[in-house]
Structure 1
Amino acid sequence: MAEKTAVVEIVPYDPQWKTAFEQIKEMIVCYIGDVIIGVEHVGSTSVEGLSAKPIIDLDVVMDSYDKLPIIVQRLEEQGYEHQGSLGIEGREAFRRKFQDEHMKYHLYVCPKDGKGYLEHIAFRDYLRKNETARNEYQKLKIRLAEQHRFDVDRYCDNKTAFITKILKETN
């Protein structure tokens, strides 16, 4: 099972998140670069100026699910556990079995045409371009983190309406 966030903590944007992403990406590409299309920085840490939980989210993009068995095998050889979709269509989660030198991160493998991946990119790109939406989302995240500090599920659930509204605007 994915490691649950014990305490929801939102911190100001840190420019080092870009560097942390690049370091993790480089490591992942060494393991599976020849069987993937790319690695995308998604989630709030990928949006400059947006406060976030200090956890890097990475979407590893594969051409199709045909590539998943080799990806699972190679990542398992490197100390990752395949956790399945965790209830999210078009996304396969992986958890590092041991602490590495990188800051905390979530690793997902997605097909290039998968709903989860396409929504991550659309939401990220919208927030990067729209300062008003970015500020509104930041205020919501801070408020929800205060209200649901010890309940990450409620924190996430209460962001859904905002995210859905933005995704409708991206279509």
Structure 2
Amino acid sequence: MASGSEESFGLGVRHKLVTLAEPNARWQQAYTQEEAAIRKALGDLPLDIQHFGSTSIPAIRAKRIIDIAVGVRRFDDGFLCIEPMEQIGYEYAGNDIVPNDHIFGRGIKGETRTHLVHIIEYGGAHWTRFIRFRDKLRANTPLARAYESLKIRLAEEYADDRAAYTEAKRAFIDEIVARSD
């Protein structure tokens, strides 16, 4: 493991399942520790590292997984990150799950996920989408609550199918990202 005990931060969701937890103030600390470990491992490859996803939105329920965006100059720089990320406990899931996104996971292999890292082009479509959505929810509490309500409903409907849960949120996220406000 790259940093402190995942259990102390209340992290971990069983493979492919969707369970939401009450907000935990320690999730930000978990991210901060992980960011430091990633920066140390990757050196000057990242242009920026950001906490995104529901654990980065104060006061809403979230899957107990820390989502991290690592912005690199070019998508192909993500290949240079595989070995250093593996050295700090991440498993490379590949870049064919989501186009232009190198995905790394950490947890108990095949059982529980605690962290997901997306190594993507800084300023590219994925980067913009992740950060814009996070920032809009952080700035608008009613919008964050609407998203939380959607997540709760979808978590009940897709409790054992994380991929379907994620896909079912897409239209809401697309609408928010597209707004000019």
Q: Verify same fold: TM over 0.5.
A: yes
- Matched residue, 1:70: 80
Matched, 1:151 2:139: no
Aligned to 1:26: 36
Farther-moved stretch of structure 1 (129-138 vs 28-37): 28-37
For residue 97 of structure 1, report the CA deviation from its aligned partner: 7.8
More divergent stretch after superposition (111-120 vs 14-23): 111-120
> Would you say the 8 A contact 1:91–1:117 is kept in 2?
no
The answer on whether the counterparts of 1:79 and 1:98 sit within 8 Å (CA) in structure 2 is: no
| 1:14-46 superposed Cα distances (whole Å, 9 cap, x missing partner) | 111000001111111110132211210010101
Whether the aligned pair in 1 keeps the contact of 2:52 and 2:131 (CA below 8 Å) is yes
Q: Is the Cα–Cα contact under 8 Å of residues 78 and 120 in structure 2 kept in the other structure?
A: no
Aligned equivalents of 1:79, 1:140: Cα separation in 2: 32
Give distance in 1, aligned partners of 2:50 and 2:103.
14
Counterparts in 2 of 1:17 and 1:65: CA distance versus 1, 3 Å: same
Q: Aligned in 2, Cα 1:153/1:65: closer, same or farther, shift over 3 Å?
A: closer
Counterpart CA distance in 2 for 1:75 and 1:92 is 11
Offset of 1:72 from its aligned partner? 2.1
1:83 equivalent to 2:86? Answer no
Alpha carbons 1:36, 1:63 under 8 Å: kept: yes
Q: Distance in 2 between matches of 1:42 and 1:55?
A: 11
Tell me which residue corresponds to 1:161. Answer: 171
| Contact 2:106-2:115 within 8 A present in 1 as well | no
Structure 1 segment 32-47 matched on structure 2, within 5 A:
32-47=42-57
Q: Secondary structure of 1:104's partner?
A: strand
Q: 2:116 aligns with which of 106, 131, 143?
A: 106
Q: Which residue of 1 aligns with 2:131?
A: 121
3-state SS of 1:159 partner: helix
**Any idea what the Cα deviations from partners look like across 1:52-77, whole Å, max 9, x if unmatched?**
11100001111223533322232234
Percent identity over paired residues: 30
Structure 1 length as normaliser, TM-score?
Answer: 0.86
Which structure 1 segments of 5+ residues have no match?
none
Quote the offset at 1:81 in angstroms.
3.3
Unaligned runs of 5+ residues in structure 2 are 1-12
Q: Secondary structure at the match of 1:41?
A: strand
Cα distance change on mapping 1:67 and 1:165 into 2, 3 Å: same
Which deviates further from its counterpart, 90-99 or 161-170? 90-99
Partner of 2:4: none
Structure-2-length-normalised TM-score = 0.81
Distance 1:155 1:165 in 2: 17
1:92 corresponds to which letter in structure 2?
Answer: H
Instruction: State the SS of the aligned residue for 1:14.
Output: coil
Residues 17, 29 of structure 1: alpha-carbon distance in 2 compared, 3 angstrom cutoff: same
Range that drifts further, 119-128 or 142-151 = 142-151
